[in-house]
A and B are shown apart, each in its own frame.
Chain A
């Protein structure tokens, strides 16, 4: 039985080879709502990335729409892998808003109350880096009229919006 868990866990090497028709990217859109002093964030992930990640962590077969632990585990995963850092180094509190599925895509919505200039924040985005070597996480941020494009690739950790 333990072998089964191990087999499920092993997705790393699959990334080194070709993985059927899969590819590994995510897209996070961040908009600052100046009126509500709120960072509004939508995260677009592929189900074929989220599934193995959760199975790896929960050590069982997971159906994203049916397994009860999915939401709580996703929240834990987000807390570890999507981190906003203040200039002083402390982290913002990321609040879960909800999620929805659209064909092979999982949209996760979170928000971060923040009163200040968001371009002074830094971001850590490490989705799936422990699973897929060629993972690329794209971040598009819009703070008022200012736009920022960040790309996180395996090995990257924290990046400032304004460099």
Chain B
């Protein structure tokens, strides 16, 4: 690096922004005021409910019969609707969501054609044609007022309007009745968030029943009646209310539902009732219906019907599950003073996985979520195994994963189950209690819930394989072409899971870890949950609350992560070194001479050198100018320097002689999303330093900025985002000087495993199980790390004490302390944390060692042997 002449004022130059021209108007820090709704007395500018906040309410009394012979639902309900809005209503809308399964539904009409391709007519298409006979349309057989008089009603696909006999004024209530029936969908054929599963082996069914009764559509201060039809992606926009539901099933079924069972004495076998009571104080999940009892039930034939009565207070929906195949386990749990029954219902096909994990995962979820939001507000929390892969309702959720028929299961299935239970039980907070509008904004419940799920998973076990949350997992999606911003309506989302689950969850994780810090974030997040518990927040209420409660303007963050499809890719384009002009002629003139001498000689000059010169032939031609050395220090120079020094105070003098290095790092924002700049400066002496600069560094110029780093030590390298915390999509430009980053393919092929995944294949390098042959590891080991073709030598100084290994790693630039080390089955694992994180895992074979070394930037191989 060149030493240049710089003046003292370089000291006062910090973030240096290039002038912005008129043709470059991008302002990623522009405030969101124009994009957010104007605050009003319902929703304040701070993001809290306003002083006139209101929401309507619907209470339900429902009688329903589950027809196990024909797989049908027959229901009759009385709805009491309370108009808390300031408006007078002349009609009301209901949601008839099960009409999604009507033969001529919009969902069927608007779904694109499958591609039958060139590989023949798929088996699935045959079954699709055969299934054409099914029509899940809801038959509305009666709509009457409280006196039994018929009400005029009009169906609009998945919605129904009832014209009120008299206008419903603000504060008024309207009570009416609806009778209906429909054929339940076979979930395994038609999919959906509800349905039945048929078990051919024993001829039984599991029913997971939801969206099964005409429900009040929401009437809101921001939209009036919710008018998005149910197309399948956008879930539900609902009102809170109290429910009394009487469910009639064959008398050998076991029923689980939203709410608390009211007539256990009538519907439970006496021993079940006794066990249920015991379970309230059990220390671990205990069986109410055992596996053997459930097995015996499978060959049972009903001798009649039973009616199970459930009550649920202040819930926004009601779902239930029913089967004669259910095992039932339960454990009472105290969540911050609220006594909750955590319960799971599953067939024998779900074991041994379900009895081990489901109820435990429920309790874990309630503990962690309650800590980050508010105390779980309901008396029960249940997880059901049936056909639905994962779907949430108040106090009850449906979860799909099962082991193989032989009872074994892969890690995939195990963590799949734990994760889905955490996720779906977690939905009791978002949106069952924090009642966001799912039909409009999938991310408001799925994104926030996936974020909290990540927190809960990481408290389940160390290095839990969470699929979403870590910034590095989102980068492929962030750079992809085929996407829309998070702030898009639920039915229009492309790459649904990444858009509404993974990206907002990752964004919140970054907001928590990198931008606000845990303390500020957790306070604000909890405040949002507290403000909107049992209320209906809009996106602006979330954005505003997070800013208001954290005391931080985050408009740029919402703009980048929620309103744009930009991705994060910051690049170190160049690093320039400046050093102080000491003004000392003895130093500076000598330096100038060196620089002049270092200038390359041109080709002509080189060839002309040898030519005889006239002034050599006639020395009398020489004068002062021929012999003058402009780099020679004169007395005048020294006097001037002394005068200059005399003009400085002590502080200035120490700065002048401080031997500082001024590194100007030129940064480029390639991806478009502005983010904090996190540097790791690696010094020549082997030490390193982390420098964290807020995203506001980009505020004057969103794309190019230079940052001055002043140090007293010479830097060897500068690394951007060393902890992989910003979702930077291209790591190759994060290093100065540039480093080789192997692709995922190359990492795998060279035998290292892509990202710690479970692997198989030809390239799988055999893990040898050699031992140390009784030799101690203690001593010096010379190893070489393969850095993309270039070998980097290191020395390991090891001390072995049983399985424990301590010592140091010596490199050309310094020595690192081994922070932890162990020897197990001939495999040595050592780690360093400072100045850099490094993990070496090597197989010891006598006096040779070979294995992998992993750093935050990637991993590679190493090998070597004991040198003494």
Contact = CB atoms under 8 A, between A and B. Distances in A.
A154 interface: yes
B753 A100 contact: yes
Interface string A41-73: 110100110000000100001011110000100
A155 B115 contact: yes
A23 B498 CA distance: 9
B388 to A, nearest CB: 6
B571 to A, nearest CB: 15
A40 B116 CA distance: 29
B410 A64 contact: yes
B119 interface: yes
Interface size class of A (residues with CB under 8 A): 35 or more
Given A44-B476, A66-B404, A71-B760, A4 B748 contact: no
Interface string A15-26: 111111111010
A98 B467 contact: no
B743 interface: yes
Contacts, number: 229
B123 A6 contact: yes
B100 interface: yes
B454 to A, nearest CB: 11
A27 interface: yes
Contacts of B760: 71, 98-100
A48 B413 CA distance: 11
15 contacts: A12-B114, A16-B108, A21-B423, A21-B446, A23-B495, A29-B743, A41-B745, A44-B476, A99-B761, A101-B758, A102-B467, A104-B412, A107-B757, A126-B117, A129-B114
B755 interface: yes
Given A97-B749, A100-B753, A17 B200 contact: no
B458 to A, nearest CB: 13
A119 interface: no
Contacts of B753: 100
A92 interface: no
Contacts of B496: 23
A14 B835 CA distance: 52
- What are the 5 closest A-B residue pairs judged by CB atoms, nearest first? A98-B761, A14-B191, A18-B232, A100-B759, A103-B467
B539 interface: no
B35 interface: no
Interface stretch (B125-133, B265-273, B326-334): B125-133
Contacts of A27: 476, 480
Contacts of A16: 107-108, 111, 191
Nearest to A12: B124
Contact of A3 (B200, B494, B762): B200
B415 interface: yes
Contact of A104 (B111, B114, B391, B416): B416
A10 B744 contact: no
Nearest to B466: A103
Contact of A102 (B100, B112, B446, B755): B755
A97 B745 contact: yes
B150 to A, nearest CB: 33
B191 A18 contact: yes
Given A17-B192, A129-B117, A56 B122 contact: yes
Contacts of A157: 117-118
Contacts of B759: 98-101
Contacts of B467: 102-105
Contacts of B408: 63, 66
Contact of B748 (A6, A19, A97): A97
A123 interface: no
Given A22-B497, A65-B410, A10 B189 contact: yes
Given A14-B191, A19-B191, A6 B411 contact: no
A44 B498 CA distance: 14
B241 interface: no
B190 interface: yes
Interface in B704-758: 743-746, 748-749, 753-758
A136 interface: yes
A109 B749 contact: yes
Interface in A110-149: 111, 126, 129-134, 136, 138, 140, 149
Contact of B115 (A25, A101, A126): A126
Contacts of B743: 29, 31, 40, 42
Given A17-B107, A20-B390, A107-B744, A12 B122 contact: yes
A98 B764 contact: yes
A80 B117 CA distance: 11
A102 B410 contact: no
A63 B115 contact: no
Contacts of B501: 21
B616 interface: no
B99 to A, nearest CB: 12
Contacts of A8: 188
Interface string B486-506: 000000001111100100000
B762 A11 contact: no
A161 interface: no
Contacts of A12: 114, 122, 124-125, 127-128
B481 to A, nearest CB: 5
A96 B762 contact: yes
Contacts of A64: 410, 412
Given A10-B124, A42-B743, A101 B757 contact: yes
Given A6-B127, A17-B192, A25-B498, A80 B757 contact: no
A103 B468 CA distance: 9
Contact of B465 (A6, A14, A48, A102): A102
Contacts of A98: 748-749, 759-764
Contacts of B411: 65, 101
A33 to B, nearest CB: 8
Given A7-B189, A100-B761, A109-B763, 8 more contacts: A16-B111, A22-B389, A29-B743, A109-B744, A130-B114, A132-B114, A133-B113, A133-B114
A97 B113 CA distance: 34
Nearest to A10: B127
A13 B200 contact: no
Contacts of A132: 114
A21 B390 contact: yes
B405 interface: yes
A136 B495 contact: yes
B111 A131 contact: no
Contacts of B480: 27, 138, 149
B190 A14 contact: yes
Given A131-B122, A133-B113, A13 B189 contact: yes
B821 to A, nearest CB: 27
B124 A107 contact: no
A10 B188 contact: yes
B412 A56 contact: no
B409 interface: yes
Interface string B790-802: 0000000000000
A56 B188 CA distance: 13
B274 to A, nearest CB: 36
B606 interface: no
A77 B254 CA distance: 43
Contacts of A130: 114-117, 119, 122, 124-125
Nearest to B424: A21
Contacts of B756: 102
A8 B362 CA distance: 29
Nearest to A21: B390
- Most chain-B CB neighbours within 10 Å: which of A12, A14, A20, A42? A20
A31 B745 CA distance: 9
Given A7-B188, A66-B408, A130-B124, A18 B762 contact: no
Contacts of A109: 744-745, 748-749, 761, 763
A1 B749 CA distance: 42
Contact of B754 (A63, A100, A133): A100
A15 to B, nearest CB: 7
A79 to B, nearest CB: 11
